[in-house]
A and B are shown apart, each in its own frame.
Chain A
Amino acid sequence: MTPHRRIAFLSLCLGLCLGLAASAAAGELNVYYGTSRDLFEPVIQAFAASRPDIKVSSFRAPTEELMATIELEIKAGKPRADVIVITASQLFGLQQQHKALEPYAPKELEKIKKELRDPEMLLTPTGLNLSLIQYNTKRITGADIPKKFTDLLNPKWNNQIVMTDPRSSSSAHSHIWFLTKYMVDAAGEPPYGWSFYKELRKLNAKYVASHGTVRAMVQTGERPLGIQMLNDAMMSIKTGEPASFVIAQEGSAAEITAASLVKGSRNPTEAKAFVDFLLTEKGQEFMVKLGGYVPVRTDSPFKFPDGRGLADVKLVPVDLAYITPQKREEHMQKFQEIMR
């Protein structure tokens, strides 16, 4: 090395060390969330813009990884999140296992649909994500478009269907709850119940790790039919991909996404302000337009892309008490037995 190069190299190393040292940062409100970054980050930015006095930091990870992070932090007694926005069943699990959440009655509580409110006030619903059928509009048209979940069992869909693996995706449990519990209670087994999945197995239905992968496979037509969630299906529509969706005639498992305050967090006041913001008309508009969620306020306008309203479809809120960790384990085992 020549002296010049040596100096260049040494200063680079020094710079790197300083860079590392300066990287630690702390905010005045830490939001942890599990949905796609560009669906929720703008909502957080809108809040930050309305409250310039608060330094807002956010952390996004896929729901399953986020849960692991949160649990590890809680177990060590060092929760860094002030507010967690994630599916209600996951929050419910956190509360059951770690008593990790702090109750809060948000300002506009009475505007939230009654059936969605949490009697213990630990969870504040912020949006609904629906279980549905996504399809590729180039490959499936007209009368072929399924209308019910049972339409998926037609032999012509051999090698065409994709869904998520309950061992990797937490929302997969919402579909499973709807098809193996709710529909069995309503219409019996078969066609519903685990025999529904046995039929899917006969059609070589593929299962993948996340609803993002389901979306990608439906969009490209590799698997033109998918058991999907609303905000992923809405994302396909927003980006102009050849993929649309139907809410099945049987109904749709409505998975509640909720915000919760974390017990022992450093910034409870700011966290409350953020939860309140999510429930304002403006906040709900963001959740619908950007997030692809169904609003939780009774007075928020909502239309599906095909022009139908909420009254035209049947929504069934997911039974939080049913999807316990034990039930999840049962789902995984059963699913594995049938699908492998």
Chain B
Amino acid sequence: MYVPERPERCDVIGPTTPAERDILRPQAASGSLDPAKLVWAFAAALLVYLIVTPFGYMLYECLTDKAGHATLANIPKYFGMAFVLEATVNTFLLSGAVTLLSVLVGVPLAFGVSRTDMWGKGLVRSTVLISIITPPFLRAIAYVILAGPNVGYLNQLLRYVLGLSMESGPLDIFSAWGFVVLSIPGGVAFVFLQTAAAFENMDPSLEEGARLAGATPRQVAFRITLPMAKHAMLSGALLAFSVSLAMYGIPHILNVNVLTIAIRKSLLMPLDFKAASTLSMVVLAASLGTLWLYRLSVRSAKRFQTITGRGFRPSVMRLGAWRHGFTALGLLYGVFSFLLPYGLLVLVSFMRRMGYGLEAGNFTLHNYVYIWAEPLPRTAIINSLLLATASATLVVGLGIVIGYIIARTRVRGRAVLDYLAILPLGIAGTALAAGLIIVYLNPPLSALGVYATLWILLIAYVTRFLPFGVRYCQTAFMQVSQDLEEAARLGGANWFQTVRHILLPLIKRGALYAWIVAFLSAFPEISASILLRNIGTDVVATAILDMWDGTGGLPAASALSVLVFLMLTVLVLLAQWVTGRSMLEQS
């Protein structure tokens, strides 16, 4: 029985000797100034600048004492504190659990949605979108109302249905369990977006070959399809892990002691930037370690080249009875990550007073009138729109160039770019924000005058979400066989023409995903914005928080989030029209 194990068996077109390949590489054009190199140099310099300005400063703070002398004493000093130690342990255990569960849920869902005839694909896609759009603290608040141990609706229902006599529980959202459950929707979304793109871009000839050779659909899935998506899965897991390392909104509401909370506390009560920097460096080290493991496991990039010169169109698998399993998983994800919490927020947005819950006469349209009449939501929405659009575009632009350098060239130091580009994921937004404020308030960068303007928010957003651009574009490039590019070069196309006509169209889907993820992450950004906002630069998440903290309370905050969600949906539809492509849909 012939089962091709590795995609490189398909690599039959193009140059075969290393010398031939070298001729084709853009950097081989020595002597004259290569415009491609300029683009790379500029993007790499920008990346280094964005990362090194705040992080270099934090590293300095971590490794010096108050007088500015070099020391390592900060690390034992702060990690000797009981609550920091506990926070560190909690952070790694919880992030690990979140990542594992996200992969276990996200990969089957991505496979199901992109390659099978399961039902409820629309629900899964919408849930993925929503999970990224929703500021995590809103999901946390919704779940406090749903699963609060004393009067949470789910608990009341469970006690009633099961006939339990206890006054509290059985569910308690204020626990490590709560943190994991609330973080999973986001983790699954990151895994899903990475792997779904891989499944959709897969050359089906290998699968077809296996089928022709007599393999069952299950054998094909486990021996061909999943191994080919390994790179994307690991990449998704890496994102999920790093994002939950830096998770802030959920532990803040649930009061779970993790490092981001410890960082915020050391930063704000009272301001101790050394403590915050030292704790941040540990989270960063963890992110770097994870990336290192990831790079080890995908060293042979060619194994993941699934887009080759052959024509392809991924086939849809008929699952038979398995279909219901996938559908049930999708439903579970959709109900707990989207329908329940969002249904509740919509309900709350029509409530007059939280304390009267579902009682008759407690429903009103007033909250929507209120947010319409207030100037704050308008300013915030405009600011968030500007910032999310600009940062997503910059993130993807940089991501394409950096992703290309990392995945397709032999430029020395490209691994450094990869490590630098992952750093922002592992850092609490609050710490990044404090670092940026210090850097941009003091000479020489104070000359730029970006402090207290939208620009500093833009810098923070691009820095925070750059990893998405680099990761998604890199994954996309790794899937495109080098032969296509080389064929174009042999055919006389210059580097720019090759990129424009061959590479960009092929990675368009990956780049689009990256743009959407960056846009949708930037729109409700809270942890950096809460420090960086100033007069007139409120953003959506800070406005929602202020509403929640004011007389409008949760009903007004919910109304604003429902409005924001509707607006984002319209925007996504509009973006589909502009790009002429359907987002998060199969081709």
Contacts and interface: CB of A to CB of B under 8 A. Distances in A.
B356 to A, nearest CB: 7
A297 interface: no
Given A20-B454, A222-B152, A242-B355, A68 B271 contact: yes
B548 interface: yes
Contacts of B551: 36, 38-39, 235, 238-239
Interface in A169-219: 170, 206-210, 212-213, 216-217, 219
Interface stretch (B71-79, B204-212, B385-393): B385-393
A78 interface: yes
Given A23-B536, A72-B434, A165 B270 contact: no
B253 interface: yes
B170 interface: no
- Judged by DSSP, the binding face of B is helix
Contacts of B382: 19
B174 interface: yes
A217 B554 CA distance: 11
Contact of A239 (B353, B376, B441, B531): B353
Given A68-B268, A219-B354, A1 B579 contact: yes
B315 interface: no
A322 interface: no
Contact of B269 (A72, A207, A236, A332): A332
A16 B390 contact: yes
B151 A220 contact: yes
A20 B549 contact: no
Nearest to A223: B150
B437 A69 contact: yes
Interface string B535-555: 111000010011011111110
Interface stretch (B59-67, B141-149, B405-413, B474-482): B141-149
B252 interface: yes
Contacts, number: 190
B252 A209 contact: yes
B57 interface: no
A68 B267 contact: yes
A212 B548 contact: yes
Interface string B406-449: 00000000000000000000000000001001100110001001
B151 A219 contact: no
A120 to B, nearest CB: 21
Contacts of A208: 253, 255
Given A60-B546, A220-B148, A325 B386 contact: no
B320 interface: no
Interface residues of B, number: 72
Interface stretch (A5-13, A106-114, A247-255, A306-314): A5-13
Contacts of B376: 37
Interface string B5-27: 00000000000000000000000
Contacts of B296: none
A59 B393 contact: no
B88 to A, nearest CB: 15
Contacts of A243: 355
Given A67-B268, A71-B271, A78-B441, A138 B174 contact: no
Interface in B511-552: 530-531, 533-537, 542, 545-546, 548-552
Nearest to B438: A72
Interface stretch (A24-32, A146-154, A257-265, A267-275): A24-32
B452 interface: yes
B535 A27 contact: yes
Nearest to B252: A209
B434 A68 contact: yes
Contacts of B238: none
Contact of A136 (B174, B355, B449): B355
Contacts of B458: 20
What are the 8 tightest A-B residue pairs by CB atom distance, in nearest-first order?
A: A76-B441, A242-B355, A222-B148, A64-B268, A38-B550, A241-B355, A219-B355, A36-B550
7 contacts: A16-B386, A23-B536, A25-B536, A37-B376, A39-B551, A62-B549, A208-B255
Given A23-B383, A68-B531, A216-B144, 5 more contacts: A5-B578, A76-B441, A136-B355, A219-B553, A337-B82
Interface of B: 82-83, 86, 141, 144-145, 148-152, 167-168, 174, 252-253, 255, 257, 264-265, 267-271, 352-357, 376, 382-383, 386, 389-390, 393, 434, 437-438, 441-442, 446, 449, 451-455, 458, 530-531, 533-537, 542, 545-546, 548-554, 577-580
